[in-house]
Structure 1
């Protein structure tokens, strides 16, 4: 009971912090950058949005959700795209409302997929595979953002440029090593030995190679046969989300350039990992606004862009996910009543 009340208290505090960060975002931006901005100025930017631009944002947002269904259907054979859309929407709503909401999202995933007739092991594999692909691309994004800025010449001096290339190359090399270890046996053995050596070096009582072996054993079949579809699903999902950001920038008059938009998007996705608020809400918007200001965008336009993007990648997912979860619960209850009302003779005839 104490633990439950602690979880409720932490959740309430986390949500309150997220709301406070958004409400006081103009003051936070002004204190960080020294550039004045007010809600009245932000409102004027919002007032200039046309119906066509809002409709375009909604369409691209829906396309991003559809793209991610390919990651889930690829991770769980037999899952339909409609089921994957429902699963993603409901899971996102839970994660966006709770700090450390991933655990609650996994529990919800199990409940929904078990209700559709899937066994525990395929569900575990789906959770592992989709988690691996999300983590890999979350690591790749910062490297892509750094490379984009370097290629655009957005660096203060050659020393910083060299450090940027080294950093980006190191991140991409690490992701390549992990991907190779998941796919090839020999690479897995080498990585396992390296991880065991590092564990001994820092005196950790863990067998990293055994954990890697168990992970590969659970996910090998899916990764070997469906890696391309999983990768394309993530690429298009992130690509559509970046497109949403670009549309938000254009609509608010805050577009700083192609490379800069990629860097801002990469930062936004990294900041969603901040666990102090659900999905980094409030923290992400602050980071996006600050980076846009660093690229020379005016404060009202930068702040409006951050809020718009936060709406399409966080806020709207809560009611949408709630509707998806409600529809799933309603259909499940209706199907349960239909099965209970079906006469035994009909059930026996329908049984194989």
Structure 2
């Protein structure tokens, strides 16, 4: 790649970042109006939060991340929960800042695990298992919420727009089919090889299948327990966000809101789906009878932890990791 091509690529990334930031900012600014409120009303509700309440919310948020670290550690034998937490927060920090930052976050995590001595194959299995579990858990929450619609009359919370996310469960079903039958993995790999030359997917997909099945067979207990605990703590955090604001919403209604939030994060239109999640989930809660100002305030508080806080915390952890790597490099050379 010559200098002109590098400059053009850098300019495209910069333009994409600026446009993405503008769209995200516009969506967040538009949030109160989208649900029939004003920023003054939303601010009045947010003023009810005390320092003690923020500490409590932070504890629940950290507990949820720690629960999820069990899933990450079980997905890569030899990975500690502390390092799993580091991977989660640093990857999320990058993904929440950059457009399509998930790929950059994955590349960062790959660099980190390689420095820790793990192989490419180990990271490939880790990535396959964690991606499958994260998507499956979101679809599971959505499925339970849809099952509650006759009781809650919550169909309006999802709306017709949810049909746009149909490719996601279809992709999961294809993935499960590949796991169930190695011949399917070989067939899909062979066809993809015709599109992507020299990809060797006919050979690699069956190998990834065997690795994924092995990891799930040996680690299904901590994976299941960690994911269930994580989702329960996410629901608890959402419930507490509205409790500390004195906005009365039932737990079943908030479960539906969590399902809508999970649905909207499946396709990140903006970094971390910022703006999209707040507007979509707030609109769903208003459709279920919530007060517009209280709903918007509660969602902003919840996303302040699950999205915004991940950026500085993950950034600090990345800085610490980078500093440790720089210190260890001269020692390795001296040895």
TM-score normalised to the size of structure 2? 0.83
Asked whether the equivalents of residues 64 and 229 of structure 2 are also in contact (C-alpha less than 8 Å), the reply is yes
Whole-Å separation in 2 of the counterparts to 1:290 and 1:251:
21
Matches within 5 A, 1:154-193: 154=154, 179=176, 182=179, 187-188=180-181
Confirm whether residue 60 of structure 1 aligns to residue 60 of structure 2.
yes
Per the alignment, residue 14 of structure 1 pairs with 20
Asked whether the equivalents of residues 28 and 275 of structure 2 are also in contact (C-alpha less than 8 Å), the reply is yes
Per the alignment, residue 3 of structure 2 pairs with none
- Cα distance, 1:237 vs structure 2: 1.5
3-state SS of paired residue (1:124): helix
Taking a change above 3 Å as real, the CA distance of residues 189 and 327 of structure 1, as seen in their structure-2 partners, is closer
Asked whether the equivalents of residues 256 and 295 of structure 1 are also in contact (C-alpha less than 8 Å), the reply is no
- Cα distance, 1:266 vs structure 2: 0.7
Whole-Å separation in 1 of the counterparts to 2:210 and 2:235:
34
Per the alignment, residue 237 of structure 2 pairs with 244
Asked whether the equivalents of residues 68 and 234 of structure 1 are also in contact (C-alpha less than 8 Å), the reply is yes
Taking a change above 3 Å as real, the CA distance of residues 83 and 205 of structure 1, as seen in their structure-2 partners, is closer
Taking a change above 3 Å as real, the CA distance of residues 217 and 59 of structure 1, as seen in their structure-2 partners, is same
Per the alignment, residue 87 of structure 1 pairs with 87
For the pair shown, the structure with the greater C-alpha radius of gyration is 1
Matches within 5 A, 1:175-254: 179=176, 182=179, 187-188=180-181, 213-254=206-247
Q: Deviations over 1:170-198 (max 9, x none)?
A: x999978965863xxxx4269769x97xx
Per the alignment, residue 112 of structure 1 pairs with 112
Taking a change above 3 Å as real, the CA distance of residues 338 and 211 of structure 1, as seen in their structure-2 partners, is closer
Q: Deviations over 1:3-58 (max 9, x none)?
A: 3321221122112211221122112223xxxxxx2212111111111222211110
Whole-Å separation in 1 of the counterparts to 2:280 and 2:255:
14
TM-score normalised to the size of structure 1? 0.80
RMSD across aligned C-alpha pairs, in angstroms? 3.0
Q: Which runs of 5+ in 2 are unaligned?
A: 1-5, 157-167
Matches within 5 A, 1:1-352: 1=6, 2-30=8-36, 37-152=37-152, 154=154, 179=176, 182=179, 187-188=180-181, 213-340=206-333, 342=334, 347=335
Asked whether the equivalents of residues 75 and 129 of structure 1 are also in contact (C-alpha less than 8 Å), the reply is yes
Asked whether the equivalents of residues 261 and 281 of structure 2 are also in contact (C-alpha less than 8 Å), the reply is yes
- Cα distance, 1:149 vs structure 2: 3.1
Asked whether the equivalents of residues 274 and 283 of structure 1 are also in contact (C-alpha less than 8 Å), the reply is no
Whole-Å separation in 1 of the counterparts to 2:144 and 2:277:
18
Aligned residues: 313
Whole-Å separation in 2 of the counterparts to 1:100 and 1:174:
19
Whole-Å separation in 1 of the counterparts to 2:171 and 2:31:
35
Whole-Å separation in 2 of the counterparts to 1:175 and 1:3:
32
Q: Deviations over 1:111-137 (max 9, x none)?
A: 111111212211111111111111211
3-state SS of paired residue (1:97): coil
- Cα distance, 1:210 vs structure 2: 7.8
